Amino acid sequence: MSETNPSSGGLKADASVHNWATTGIFWLLVIGTLSIAQGVFVPIISAIILALTFNPVRRALGRVGIPSGLAAGLIIISLITVTSIILYFLSGALQKYLGDTPTFANEVRRELSALFGSIEPMLEAGDQLEELTNSGAQQGVEIREPGLVKAMTHATPAAISQLVIALTLGFFLIASGDMFYEKLVQVMPTLKDKHKALAATRKIEKQLSTYLSTITTINVVLGILIGTSMWLLGMPNPLLFGLAAFLLNYIPYIGSIAGIAITLVVGLITFDDTLPALIPPFIYWIINSLEGQFLTPVLVGRQLKLNAVVVFLSFALWAWVWGFMGMLLSTPILLMVKVICDNVEGFERVGKFLAARDDISGRDSRVVKAMLQKEDKKDAAAAPD
């Protein structure tokens, strides 16, 4: 018997390693597939989130006698109208900067160099290296588009096609009414399972709709406050700042940093002195911090709070897989996963891990404190004199 135990233990260890390896390969294949088929998955996920968000609106319209198909049409037309208005004002405000990109870039470089003089030698070294690299090249005439304009030109058709697919699929999902719930009840084997599945699905829809509608309202208020502040401070195109704050706040962490950086650059170009140029980004940071620390936690509620570390990891993952659209969809996808885990039997612990820090029980608190004290004593004993 003593000879067979090590063998059985080795077999169990090998099986465990094999299972972990298989799971890792599976998730790598999933991530690779999502990345390669971005044009398919992004509009599908966007349409699902769109339908879950606006299903309560469709039901409210249904209670006043508006059928699902007409309600879906009104919702999609309203979304297209709002999006078109935002794009119209954004394009008008950005036209000045995109039309004169080289001059704007030189101004930004000059102002940043004046503020951070230590980076000037690095910039000069880069220019000298570029001149040396191009010195042996054959001279000729070449018409080149600005990098940003060229990138936007190539990306626009794909973005428009994905937007059209997402809106079309979202229309059909909303117009289908409660068909999904009917199918879900039909496939459940017992009456208890039918009630449980229907309750969990409605809870998922309600929480996701509440979260996204609340965040959108917060972003609208944030955009109005920042746009008004920039107007009072004498910044150019305050409407652009308000719209940018509204859109960027959907992107966790990076969105607020990008807004502050843009405000700093434009402030340096707009004002002659450094101090007045630093006031707009400081005000932007104050407003954004108040929103993130007080307004959002109060309005979103404890039930929908997410683990900040997990939010950042989700943002990094989806930004790597799907780029800009991944940044926008990362938090709604994470919220959907959390709500599903909270309402599906066997996954409650995963949902608990994805949630923000909450009140820990007295027993768990004592366990954590005792274990940390024990580890601290071990570290102190092992430390050299």
Assess whether pLDDT exceeds 60 at residue 288.
yes
Rounded to 5°, angle at Cα 21 from 338 and 12: 105
List residues bridging with 355 in a β-sheet. Answer: 306
Name the helix (H) or strand (E) containing 104: helix 101-115
Mean pLDDT of the chain: 76
Query: For the segment 140-157, what is each residue's pLDDT rounded down to a tens digit?
Result: 444 444 444 454 455 566
Q: Please state, in angstroms and rounded to a whole number, the distance separating the CA atoms of residues 60 and 217.
A: 19
Average pLDDT over every residue of 201-220? 83
Residue appearing with tokens 């960027």: 248
Assess whether pLDDT exceeds 50 at residue 231.
yes
> Which tokens is 55 given?
């299903």
Assess whether pLDDT exceeds 50 at residue 322.
yes
Average pLDDT over every residue of 113-135? 54
- Residue 157: per-residue pLDDT: 65
Average pLDDT over every residue of 210-215? 84
Are 62 and 68 a contacting pair, CB within 8 Å? Answer: yes
Assess whether pLDDT exceeds 80 at residue 307.
no
- Residue 375: per-residue pLDDT: 66
Query: For the segment 37-88, what is each residue's pLDDT rounded down to a tens digit?
Result: 888 888 888 898 888 888 888 888 988 989 989 999 999 999 899 888 887 7
Q: What residue spans define the domains of the chain? A: 18-116+157-177, 211-302, 305-359
Global pTM value = 0.70
